[in-house]
C-alpha cells in the first residue's frame, strides 16, 4: 500500500519550516512533498536592508532542492495553478496534477497593488515585500540620492503588515544621515492605522509612545487613518478619515521616493473556492488550523483568514508574525501525526508574537501573548540591542533553513525558559 501523501503548498518562511517539521513529526508514516513556484527561499524580513544595500540578495537566499532531497522531502518548483480540494488534488502550472491525502497551504499572499491606481513597482512606489522588489527599490534609492526630494513611506488601506513600513522609514533616516543628505529630505509616514504604533494589533505594550517618539526624534511627520486614493508620478493623494467614514482632510503629498506596503489577498490558486476561502481569498481555518469544509486541508501564515482586532475608520488588517507562524507550523505537524495515528487533531497554536523591528542604529521589540487581545503578556522595549538581535536572528533562521531544521533543542529550551510556547496547554 502506498503511504499517505502530504503536500505543502508554498516554501516561504512558514512553508519551508513546515515541510521540515512535518517530515520529522510523521516519522516515515507519510510522504511529504513541497510545491513552490521557484527553487529558492528568500529571508523576507531582511528585504528592508537589501533596499538600502546593507545586504546583498544572495546573502539571504537558500537553494532548496538539495536540502529537501537530503531531508527526504519531494520538491517541485513548477508552481500551483489551482487547488481542487473536492478532488484532493493540486493542478500545477504545466497542466499536470498531484493527488494528496493532506494539504498544507502556506502560499503567502498576493500583493494587491492594483487596488490603488499608480501603486507598486509597476507604478510610482517601491516595495520591500519581495526580494526582487527590494533590489528594484535599492536602484531607485541610489538614483534618488543624486537629487534628494521628499520621501513618503507607509502602508495602504487594508494592509496587514506594518512593522516593515516603520522599519524602512527609520532605516532610510539612518542611511540618509550616513550619506549626509538627511537635511535635504522631508519625510512622512502614512498609514491606515488609527494611531502610530497600532500595528494592526491595537498596540503592544507601549508601542504607541515608543514609535511616536522615534518618528518625532527623527523629524518624520505622520498621517494616520489615511486612505490613499491614487498615486501619480511624484504626488500621492491621501484622505484622512474619521469615525463613520467622514473625510476630514485631503493631502497631495509630493515625493521623490516612496515605499508603500500594499493590502494582501489570497493567491489565484485558491481564490474564490467556496468553503475554502473568505471573499479576500484567505484560507478559513479552525482552532486546529484545519479548514472546516475540507477537513484534510490545513493552512498557516499570511494566507490564513484572521478578522481585524476591532473596527477602525480605515480598514486595518492583522499581521502574521514569524513566531506566530511557527506556532501554526508546530500545531499542524502534531495534528497530522495524530491523524495518521487514527486520532482527531487536538493541538492549538498559541499565536504568540515575538517581533524585532530594526531601525539601523536601534529598534523596537515586542512580545504579545497571544498576538490577538486580550493578552496574558503585553511587552515592548527599544534600544541598540534590538538591531543586534535582528542581525543574530537573520543568521540563526537562515542557518535553520540551510540545515533543514525546524526547531533545534536550544531554541525550544530558550523559548520555554522565557515562557513563550508554540502550543496551548490542554
Catalytic residue numbers?
161, 355
Q: How many angstroms separate the CA atoms of 9 and 91, rounded? A: 11
Burial of 187 (0-12, 13-18, 19+ CB in 10 A): buried
Q: How many angstroms separate the CA atoms of 89 and 68, rounded? A: 21
What 8-state DSSP symbol labels residue 375?
Answer: -
User: C-alpha distances in angstroms, 322 versus 177, 352, 355?
Assistant: 30, 9, 8
Q: How far is CA 250 from the centre of its chain?
A: 30
User: C-alpha distances in angstroms, 303 versus 160, 267, 421?
Assistant: 11, 8, 22
Give the angle subtended at the CA of 345 by the CAs of 339 and 346, to the nearest 5°: 145
Q: How many angstroms separate the CA atoms of 250 and 361, rounded? A: 34
Q: How far is CA 161 from the centre of its chain?
A: 6
Nearest to 170 by CA among 384, 335, 362: 362
Q: How many angstroms separate the CA atoms of 372 and 381, rounded? A: 19
Q: How many angstroms separate the CA atoms of 31 and 160, rounded? A: 34
Q: What DSSP element (H or E) covers 333?
A: helix 322-340
Can you say whether the dihedral through the CA atoms of 193, 194, 195, 201 is positive or negative?
A: negative
DSSP-derived secondary structure for 110-171:
EE-GGGSBT-STTTT-B--SSHHHHHHHHHHHHHHHHS---EEEEE-TT----HHHHHHHHH
Q: Cell 535635504, residue?
A: 184
Q: How many angstroms separate the CA atoms of 182 and 158, rounded? A: 30
Amino acid at each position: 500500500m502506498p503511504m499517505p501523501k502530504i503536500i505543502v503548498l508554498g516554501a516561504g518562511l512558514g512553508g519551508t519550516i513546515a515541510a521540515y517539521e512535518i517530515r520529522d513529526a510523521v516519522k516515515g508514516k507519510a510522504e511529504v512533498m513541497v510545491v513552490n513556484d521557484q527553487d529558492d527561499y528568500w529571508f523576507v524580513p531582511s528585504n528592508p536592508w537589501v533596499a538600502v544595500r546593507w545586504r546583498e540578495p544572495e546573502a539571504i537566499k537558500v537553494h532548496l532542492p538539495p536540502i529537501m532531497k537530503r531531508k527526504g522531502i519531494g520538491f517541485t518548483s513548477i508552481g500551483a495553478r489551482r487547488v481542487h480540494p473536492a478532488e484532493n488534488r493540486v493542478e500545477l502550472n504545466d497542466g499536470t496534477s498531484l493527488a494528496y491525502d493532506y494539504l498544507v497551504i502556506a502560499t503567502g499572499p498576493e500583493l494587491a497593488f492594483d487596488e490603488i491606481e499608480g501603486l507598486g513597482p509597476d507604478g510610482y512606489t517601491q516595495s520591500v515585500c519581495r526580494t526582487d522588489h527590494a533590489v528594484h527599490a535599492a536602484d531607485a534609492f541610489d538614483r534618488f540620492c543624486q537629487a534628494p526630494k521628499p520621501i513618503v513611506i507607509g502602508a495602504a488601506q487594508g494592509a496587514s503588515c506594518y512593522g516593515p513600513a516603520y522599519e524602512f522609514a527609520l532605516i532610510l533616516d539612518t542611511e540618509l544621515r550616513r550619506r549626509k543628505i538627511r537635511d535635504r529630505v522631508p519625510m512622512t509616514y502614512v498609514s491606515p492605522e488609527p494611531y502610530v504604533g497600532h500595528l494592526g494589533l491595537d498596540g503592544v505594550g507601549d508601542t504607541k509612545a515608543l514609535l511616536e517618539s522615534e518618528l518625532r526624534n527623527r523629524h518624520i511627520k505622520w498621517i494616520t487613518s489615511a486612505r490613499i486614493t491614487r498615486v501619480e508620478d511624484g504626488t500621492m493623494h491621501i484622505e484622512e478619515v474619521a469615525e463613520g467614514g467622514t473625510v476630514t482632510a485631503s493631502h497631495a503629498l509630493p515625493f521623490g521616493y516612496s515605499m508603500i506596503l500594499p493590502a494582501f489577498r489570497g493567491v489565484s490558486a485558491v481564490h474564490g473556492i467556496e468553503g475554502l476561502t473568505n471573499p479576500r481569498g484567505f484560507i478559513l481555518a479552525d482552532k486546529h488550523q484545519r479548514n472546516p469544509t475540507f477537513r484534510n486541508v490545513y493552512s498557516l501564515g499570511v494566507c490564513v483568514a484572521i478578522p481585524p482586532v476591532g473596527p477602525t475608520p480605515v480598514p486595518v488588517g492583522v499581521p502574521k508574525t514569524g513566531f506566530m507562524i511557527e506556532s501554526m507550523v508546530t500545531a499542524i505537524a502534531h495534528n497530522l501525526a495524530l491523524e495518521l495515528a487514527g486520532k482527531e487533531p487536538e493541538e492549538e497554536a498559541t499565536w504568540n508574537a515575538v517581533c524585532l523591528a530594526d531601525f539601523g542604529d536601534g529598534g523596537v521589540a515586542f512580545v504579545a501573548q497571544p498576538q490577538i487581545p486580550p493578552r496574558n503578556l503585553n511587552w515592548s522595549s527599544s534600544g541598540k540591542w534590538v538591531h543586534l538581535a535582528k542581525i543574530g536572528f537573520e543568521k540563526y533562521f537562515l542557518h535553520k533553513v540551510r540545515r533543514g531544521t525546524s526547531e533545534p533543542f536550544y531554541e525550544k529550551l530558550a523559548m520555554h525558559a522565557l515562557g513563550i510556547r508554540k502550543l496551548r496547554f490542554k
